[in-house]
Amino acid sequence: MNMTAALSVTAAIAAIVICTDATATAQRTFVASYGSDANACSRALPCRSFGAAITQTSPNGEIIVIDSAGYGSVTVTKSVSIIAPAGIYAGISVGGGANGVTVNSAGVHVRLRGLAINGTSGSSGSGVEVVQAASVGIEDCTITNLGQYGIESDAATDVTVERTTVHGNQAGGIVQMGAGRLTVTGSRITGNANTGVQAYAGKVTIVHSLIAANAVHGVEVDGTSGSVWLAISASTVTGHSGGSGIGVAATSPAYADIANNTIAGSGNGIVVGGSKADIAGNQVVYNVLRGVYAVGAGALARVTGNGVFGNATGFDPVGGATVNTPGDNYVRDNGTNATGSTPDSLL
């Protein structure tokens, strides 16, 4: 191949690449502090904001953050991952009614990794609002100081929250409005001005997480919008002096599996209202009112293998509710250890 031919081939390839970039989207795009939204969002010519990058990204593609900066709020209407690696601060500052990230398209799969979403003064939006989607993963994010919720899921979406901090949000930490499936692992839901994790319907799983010092409840599932299930294990729920550590209330059928947690320093430790809960292997300590409070006809708490200490009342069933125990709980040093419980057998 002579040099002229080589050059013309190179030019032809360059022309193809340029045409392709101008008209099509890329599987992987980039943003950087020194980028420009007039660029193609390539590695060499990154964009400056998530909003511009997402329009240049193919469905199922990725937006990668190259260096630390703010990248602006974004509305996501296609399957995409927005990824800031560890060691990079990728901020989204939001004021007024804006959300940090809005996901709004039926059937899409979205992943957010490593973002710091912060509400500025006057914020009245949420950190991440999922209006509709098939699934949304939120990993290694920090979501703070929003005027609304940290994470708000409006429909029947599968939302996974992993290694994420949700702190200081006004309407609450995480809320699930519809019959979705929420999974929270290794996360911290703290200091929100309402309830830490609230589900009005659907299925909730919480593992290895810290839920602390939220202004109302730590975790509440209440079935306002349909049947609701909670499985929480290996977590610490503490310091909800304005409400309950874990509340299970039944507008619709509600079921809870509460195992191997520490539940401390709240008004009530665990409240079971008109629903069914098995409560196993927990430490339920130093709650101002009751350790386990079962309220109303049909409320059934099966308690086994728990340590219940230093509460005003250990087990307290009222209004036709039942606390059943196979006799293996250690309930001591409460003001009143139990106002009533029903012996149960093992198989």
Residue ranges in contact with another protein by CB under 8 A: 1, 27-28, 30, 43-44, 60-62, 64-66, 81, 83, 85-88, 109, 135, 137, 158, 160, 162, 181, 183, 185, 203, 205, 207-208, 229, 231, 233-234, 255, 257, 259-260, 276, 278, 280-281, 300, 302, 304-305, 324, 326, 344, 346-347
Between 37 and 257, name the residue whose CB sits nearer to another protein. Answer: 257
Give least dist CB 267 to another protein, A.
25
Between 88 and 312, name the residue whose CB sits nearer to another protein. Answer: 88
Between 125 and 202, name the residue whose CB sits nearer to another protein. Answer: 202
Between 129 and 162, name the residue whose CB sits nearer to another protein. Answer: 162
Instruction: Say how far apart CA 6 and CA 319 lie, in whole Å.
Output: 88
Give least dist CB 177 to another protein, A.
18
What is the DSSP-derived secondary structure letter of residue 153? E
Q: Torsions phi, psi of 51, nearest 5? A: -60, -40
Give least dist CB 67 to another protein, A.
9
Beta strands 109-113 and 228-233 are unpaired
Between 114 and 119, name the residue whose CB sits nearer to another protein. Answer: 114
Between 231 and 312, name the residue whose CB sits nearer to another protein. Answer: 231
* 3-class DSSP state of 255: strand
- Alpha-carbon distances, residue 68 vs 35, 72, 316 (angstroms): 12, 13, 52
Nearest CA among 140, 147, 160 for reference residue 82? 140
Q: Torsions phi, psi of 159, nearest 5? A: -115, 125
Instruction: Say how far apart CA 207 and CA 230 lie, in whole Å.
Output: 11
Nearest CA among 238, 278, 274 for reference residue 256? 278
Give least dist CB 286 to another protein, A.
24
Between 37 and 278, name the residue whose CB sits nearer to another protein. Answer: 278
Rama region for 218: left / alpha / beta (φ>0; ψ in -120 to 50; rest): alpha
Amino acid occupying residue 136 = V
Give least dist CB 253 to another protein, A.
10
* 3-class DSSP state of 11: helix
- Alpha-carbon distances, residue 188 vs 47, 143, 175 (angstroms): 32, 10, 15
* 3-class DSSP state of 5: helix
Give least dist CB 157 to another protein, A.
12
Give least dist CB 63 to another protein, A.
10
Residue pair 201/224 in contact (Cβ under 8 Å)? The answer is yes
Give least dist CB 125 to another protein, A.
28
- Alpha-carbon distances, residue 277 vs 81, 193, 299 (angstroms): 37, 27, 8
